[in-house]
Amino acid sequence: MMDIVTTGLMTHLESRQIGSRFSRGEGGEYYLRVPGDGIIEAAGWLANREDLALIGIWAVPGHEKDCLELYYAFELKQPSPALVMIAEVKNNQAPSIYKIFPAAINFERRARDWYGLDFTSLPDTRRLLLHEAYPADFHPMVDSDPETLSSNLATTEYSFKKFEGEGLYQVPVGPVHAGIIEPGHFRFSVIGETIFNLELRLGYKHRGLNKLAEGKTVAEVNKLSESISGDESAVNACSFSLAVEKIAGAELPKRAWELRTILLEMERLYSHLGDLAGMLVDVGYPIGASPFFILREEIMRWNATFTGSRFLKGAIIPGGLSRDIEDGMLQKFKFFLVTFSRRMRKALSDVDESAWVIDRFETTGIVSPELVAPLSLSGPVARASGYDGDTRQLHTYGVYTGLKYTIPVKTSGDVLARFRVKAEEAASSIDIISETIARCSPGPVFSGFDPGSGQAIAMLEAPRGRNIHWLRVKNGTVEHWEVITASFCNWPAIEHAVINNILPDFPVINKSFNLSYAGNDL
């Protein structure tokens, strides 16, 4: 029943006289309850395994009153589901595991903001999502009385890392950028034209979605999940719905999953096409970008034809889909995709023949493969740096099991690698859509169910990478909802990618990642 890692971990903890309790969640994930101080020992043992990544840390109110529990989620690079360790928090204090898993820093800072938890030895105790507009002692998940918000605001200014030296100067950019872009602050330290250091400050779009979800019905929160990040509406709605369905033990009709797969891949397709176009615009090649803009617009119009929304909003609901898509329409789309994919190949080969574009892309903004594991990178960003994991294959869901498709992996980690990965993923999305339409089964697209109570984790591959929803439901009402988008883990990679690049190359590097600000800030 248990996999080798969990068994190994339990044996190890036993040998150190640390008791642990195993249980299985509704989503098939493993829960391992350890004492608060046992987490360091457990994390230390897990760190020796190369096929394992920390994918999230979050706090949840315990079953008893005034008691918090920390959840540490790990992904294994094998078909077994996630391993979640639960450690009880005592006196609002917990040990930081950043020395073992560096990706923990931002997760712990987030939990610190939300719950006022004190992580001992956490190297960065600045607030992550709550800025100066919030009082220093305000922690929304414990005390969210908006009345207290206008009084005793934080008076200390956010302190950026200091860099000094001859010829070194700083360029602060944002939160409002010169373009139609989301808000975020970038602090560049530059020598001449070369970037010496970049520090990000995000959180400007923090809307308090998690707190807002508490006490709402699953249908309401499903709508909320679509606004986590507008261009990832379908995958977030699907992740949330999947968690709800796991808790309820609902069996979906096959057609529901087939249509979901089509919608999820359409989302990936239009996202990637937009990124390809954006990268070309940012190296000053609008002629090359135009075909991709045109192709993307066409997919967005098909989105509207299928679901009534150009962003696939309102289509995926717990239990299946809100409406069926006519078979005739699907066949038409499949036919359309034949010429579509030919036009996409043509546009790509035009880019390949433009030496100056390749020259700008190559060796720009390198994310070295050694960063993938410590930062828990995922998605195209990780796959352009040699990581060959994809949630669709590792922890398969829906009808992906029976489909044949390739997942591209590149090793150079530069803008060109990300461009190629996204282009090839777009092509493989077209294959998946065509194949799914060809084998689409008849039948209903929705099955009713009783939401019930329980907790479950759902993990899906969003266009930007690993998308995680963890949910605790009581009689159909959401008690706790935790979202970890791929953007949250991938953002810090940009700080590494830009070093030693010239400042004018930052836009194209940023676009090659195209991470979501909204999805990071929640």
Partner 1 sequence: MHKIIRNIFSRKLSSVKDPTTEDFEITGLQLKEHVCRVFGRSLAIRELDSGSDNSAEIELNNLSTPHYDIERFGVSFVASPRHADVLLITGAVTRNMQEAVMKTYAAMPRPCWVIAVGDDACGEGLLNGSYGVLGGADKVLPVDFKIPGNPPTPLEIMQGLASFMESIRQPKA
The least distance separating partner 1 from the CB of residue 130, rounded to whole angstroms, comes to 8
Label residue 179 exposed, middle or buried (CB < 10 Å: 0-12, 13-18, 19+): exposed
Token pair 């090359």 is found at 288
Report phi then psi at 205, rounded to 5.
-95, 20
Closer to partner 1 by Cβ: residue 114 or 387: 114
Query: What are the angstrom distances between the C-alpha of 213 and each of 317, 451, 495, 522?
Result: 16, 16, 32, 12
Name beta bridge partners: 478.
473
Angle at 21 between CA 17 and CA 25, to 5 degrees: 155
Closer to partner 1 by Cβ: residue 304 or 499: 304
Closer to partner 1 by Cβ: residue 203 or 413: 203
Query: With binding defined as CB under 8 A, does residue 183 bind partner 1?
Result: yes
The least distance separating partner 1 from the CB of residue 131, rounded to whole angstroms, comes to 4
Pick from 521, 498, 508: nearest CA to 194: 498
Stretch of 1-9, 70-78, 179-187, 256-264 lying at the interface with partner 1 (CB under 8 A): 179-187
Stretch 141-170: interaction string toward partner 1, x if CB under 8 A: ---x-x--x---------------------
How far apart, in whole angstroms, are the C-alpha atoms of residue 365 and residue 501? Answer: 7
User: In one letter, which amino acid is 173?
Assistant: V
Binding residue (CB under 8 A) for partner 1 from 91, 157, 178, 401: 178
Binding residue (CB under 8 A) for partner 1 from 56, 95, 253, 274: 274
Query: What are the angstrom distances between the C-alpha of 367 and each of 188, 208, 390, 499?
Result: 18, 31, 18, 10
Token pair 């949250």 is found at 488
**Binding residues with partner 1: total (CB under 8 A):** 55
Closer to partner 1 by Cβ: residue 103 or 316: 316
Angle at 299 between CA 295 and CA 301, to 5 degrees: 115
The least distance separating partner 1 from the CB of residue 225, rounded to whole angstroms, comes to 10
Footprint (CB under 8 A) of partner 1, residues 503-522: 516-518
Query: With binding defined as CB under 8 A, does residue 41 bind partner 1?
Result: no
Name beta bridge partners: 24.
30
The least distance separating partner 1 from the CB of residue 348, rounded to whole angstroms, comes to 15
Query: What are the angstrom distances between the C-alpha of 30 and each of 13, 82, 394, 515?
Result: 16, 6, 16, 30
Binding residue (CB under 8 A) for partner 1 from 12, 99, 131, 496: 131
Stretch 195-234: interaction string toward partner 1, x if CB under 8 A: --------xxxxxxx-xx-------x--xx-xxxxxx-x-
Binding residue (CB under 8 A) for partner 1 from 67, 136, 168, 304: 304
Footprint (CB under 8 A) of partner 1, residues 70-129: 129
How far apart, in whole angstroms, are the C-alpha atoms of residue 382 and residue 411? Answer: 9
Stretch of 49-57, 131-139, 242-250, 433-441 lying at the interface with partner 1 (CB under 8 A): 131-139
- Cβ neighbour number for residue 383 with a 10 Å cutoff: 27
Q: Which of the 8 DSSP states describes residue 384?
A: T
Query: With binding defined as CB under 8 A, does residue 340 bind partner 1?
Result: no
Query: With binding defined as CB under 8 A, does residue 310 bind partner 1?
Result: yes
Closer to partner 1 by Cβ: residue 44 or 183: 183
The least distance separating partner 1 from the CB of residue 301, rounded to whole angstroms, comes to 7
Closer to partner 1 by Cβ: residue 67 or 304: 304
Closer to partner 1 by Cβ: residue 24 or 346: 346
In angstroms, the first-to-last Cα distance of the chain is 36
Query: What are the angstrom distances between the C-alpha of 16 and each of 4, 11, 32, 82, 421?
Result: 18, 9, 16, 24, 45
Name beta bridge partners: 480.
472
Binding residue (CB under 8 A) for partner 1 from 36, 44, 116, 175: 175
The least distance separating partner 1 from the CB of residue 212, rounded to whole angstroms, comes to 4
Judged by DSSP in three states, 333 sits in helix
Q: Compute the half-sphere exposure of residue 6: CA atoms within 13 Å on the CB side of its CA.
A: 25
How far apart, in whole angstroms, are the C-alpha atoms of residue 428 and residue 383? Answer: 14
Interface with partner 1 (CB under 8 A): 129-131, 133-134, 140, 144, 146, 149, 175-176, 178-183, 203-209, 211-212, 220, 223-224, 226-231, 233, 274, 277, 290, 293-294, 296-297, 300-301, 304, 309-311, 313, 343, 353, 516-518
